[in-house]
Amino acid sequence: MPSAFAVTNLLDSTEFLVGTALLITILLGGAVVIWYLDRWRKQQERSATESTESLTNFRALFENGEITEEEYKRIRGKVSTQMRLEVGLPAPPPVAVPPPEPEPPMPPPQPTEPTP
């Protein structure tokens, strides 16, 4: 019965219990790290997919005539800026709107002769 005696001594050993607790702690810590990294990866994929899908949906709305071209361009600009920030690119510079052309001057009114 030496094996039963060795098991009893092994369970009473402080070194064995500390080693087992350390191993369990390392395994649980590794599982938490893997869970956190997987969650972070899925969140990154989801945000990129959501931006692309929303732009596709707005394009379909524009093509169906449910939103105007002006609304689509405004939304596309906002989504584009959001996607650039998610990827880490700088926001595009604002587009300079040319000033409206001045209207041509009106010709002076022609004097009319009174009719007799």
Name the more confident of 112 and 63.
63
pTM for the whole thing? Answer: 0.38
Q: Each residue of 58-89: pLDDT tens digit?
A: 889 889 988 888 888 888 888 888 777 777 77
What pLDDT is attached to residue 81?
Answer: 81
Per DSSP, 88 falls in state: T
Q: Which of 57, 29, 26, 45 is nearest to 87 (CA)?
A: 45
The burial class, CB within 10 Å (0-12 / 13-18 / 19+), for 115 is exposed
Torsion angle, CA of 75/78/80/85, rounded to 10 degrees? -160
Task: Dump pLDDT digits (tens) for 22-58.
Answer: 999 999 999 999 999 998 888 777 666 676 778 888 8
